Amino acid sequence: MLTRKQHELICFISDRLNETGVSPSFEEMKEALDLKSKSGVHRLISALEEREFIRRLPNRARALEVLRMPERGETRKPAPRKEPALLSTSSTSAPPRAANDVVEIPLHGRIAAGTPIEALEGSTMLPVPAALLGAGEHYALEVAGDSMVEAGILDGDYALIRRTEIARDGEIVVALIDDTEATLKYFRKEGAMVRLDPANRAYDAQRYRPDQVRVQGKLAGLLRRY
């Protein structure tokens, strides 16, 4: 059920919890697994969480709990990715430190830059309060423009995006149009078409064939600097 790296990570977390009662930091996990960036650690943790090997409190970055260990020989290619579920969790391994806990997620540039999200991999990391994120893998985009101001999303804000290729009507998504232009809009289905709605009455809705639009994530939170 697990890849080699997933197996190595859960063993490392379990050993550290047994030794100290506190789960390792993302930097420690990155170094232990010889990964190039912390985003790789986030992906591994999300995969282990989805497969219910570990769980974490949504407002504490280092509150990881091992639910079960893989059985001997249980190391192979992972099953197809499914939508992560938010878990109701509790932990007594450490006292709450929500006010100070942060995680780092990839910052992939400006949402109106017209560049596919995949081409922006390897960019800088953005520290984010862990309380703003739930389960799953996340990245951040800097908002450019005023097309979503009536949804409270302003120019210069950082949109926190949970990676997914599935969206429901009315959700705010990152949509990649014709594999060239990324945009943050409300997602809606209109007959045989996909409609991307702005949150600004000065702008018109955009309509596309389903094959022209790829959902790359949906809005999970917003970060604003003053």
Provide the CATH topology of domain 4-66. Answer: Arc Repressor Mutant, subunit A (1.10.10)
What are the pLDDT digits (tens) for 56-69?
755 455 577 788 88
- How many Å apart are CA 40 and CA 26, to the nearest integer? 10
Q: For position 213, what pLDDT does the model report? A: 92
pLDDT number for residue 58: 54
23 included as an active-site residue: no
Question: Using CA atoms, how far apart are residues 110 and 129, in angstroms rounded to an integer?
Answer: 20
Give me the residues paired with residue 112 across strands: none
Whose tokens are 């423009």? That residue is 145
The reported pTM is 0.54
Q: How confident is the model at residue 191, as a pLDDT?
A: 92
β-sheet bridge partners, residue 54: 66
Catalytic-role residue among 23, 30, 46, 185? 185
H/E segment holding residue 197: strand 193-197
User: What's the pLDDT tens digit per position in 118-146?
Assistant: 434 445 888 888 777 878 889 888 888 88
Strand pairing category for 102-110 and 138-142: parallel
Q: Is 222 exposed, middle or buried (0-12, 13-18, 19+ CB in 10 A)?
A: middle
List the domain boundaries for the chain: 4-66, 103-223
CB atoms within 10 A of CB 134: 17
pLDDT at 122: 45
CA 99 to chain centre: 20
Question: What pLDDT score was predicted for residue 72?
Answer: 55
The pLDDT value given to residue 98:
43
Cα 95 versus chain centre, distance = 25
Domain 103-223 has CATH 2.30.110.10: no
Out of 37, 147, 189, 218, the active site residue is: 147
Sequence-distant (≥ 6) Cβ neighbours of residue 204 within 8 angstroms: 198
- Residue 210 Cα to chain centre, angstroms: 24
**DSSP for residue 77:** P
- 64 forms beta bridges with 56
Q: Tell which residue, 36, 43, 37, 56, has the closest CA to residue 101.
A: 56
Neighbours of 82 (CB within 10 A): 8
pLDDT at 187: 95
3-state secondary structure of 131: helix
Cα separation values, 119 from 181, 211, 219, Å: 12, 20, 20
CATH topology identical between 4-66 and 103-223:
no
Q: Which regions of the chain are under pLDDT 50?
A: 59, 75-100, 113-122
Query: Is residue 30 annotated as part of the catalytic site, yes or no?
Result: no
Cα angle: 141, vertex 146, 147; to 5 degrees: 85
